[in-house]
Amino acid sequence: MTSIGIIGSEGRMGVALAAAISEAGQRSCGVDKGGNVAKLAADADVIVDFSSPAALEATLDACTAAGTPIVIGTTGLEERHHYLIDDAARDIAVLQTGNTSLGVTLLAHLVREAAARLDADWDIEVVEMHHRMKVDAPSGTALLLGQAAAEGRGIDLATCSERGRDGVTGARGHGKIGFASLRGGTIAGDHDVIFAGPEEMITLSHRAENRMIFARGAVRAARWLIGQKPGRYTMPQVLGLSEQR
């Protein structure tokens, strides 16, 4: 039986993860703020972290010291967090993603394929809506989908995106990838990637009905990650999908 450690086990995602781990017939253990992360990393076969960017460095240090692989689903990461992840991945297996849903993973693959085949005359807009309590925008999933579109086009998302339009912004930039974020209610996560071309439009969509989809995907990723060599891994690899890097 695999032992899966949960960072933030009493939070909404932590509770969902514990349920998904039990559903899969595996054993869970966990800590919350102030808990002994080092002991958890030493006792578990793999760690899953959906907690907060502020807690990530300590968790990575504990996992590296224990030689324990980790799945990181925390969103709102900054550039320095990715440096920390890259550093840890020299010693342990790390899977970091903006979304652990298997459906979103496949959606990103389809977005990448569509963007590669539709030229810049097709405008790309990523629209996401989440519950009123979400603190970061665009969502990690929106950024994941935007990155997939950018990879398909062979462009740099950081320099080719438009966000937060307000007032007289001027015409939409040719070839840019746009983002729009909506907040309200208790929505677990809705995402649309719109390809708007001359006189036609394609929309690729995903609707999250319950956060259990993220928990189940994370459990599948965690079990897959056990035994992998040190390095940085992605959800498409869990599903056996080819991915541009």
Residues known to be catalytic: 130, 134
H helix or E strand, kind and range, residue 7: strand 3-7
H helix or E strand, kind and range, residue 201: strand 200-208
Cα 105–108–114 angle (5° rounding)?
145
Our separate counts of H helices and E strands in the chain read 8, 11
Closest to 142 measured CA to CA, from 153, 155, 126? 126
Query: What interhelical angle do 212-225 and 12-23 show, nearest 10?
Result: 60
Residue 209 zone, left/alpha/beta (φ > 0; ψ -120 to 50; rest): alpha
Query: What interhelical angle do 102-117 and 212-225 show, nearest 10?
Result: 90
* Greatest distance between any 2 Cα atoms in the chain: 59
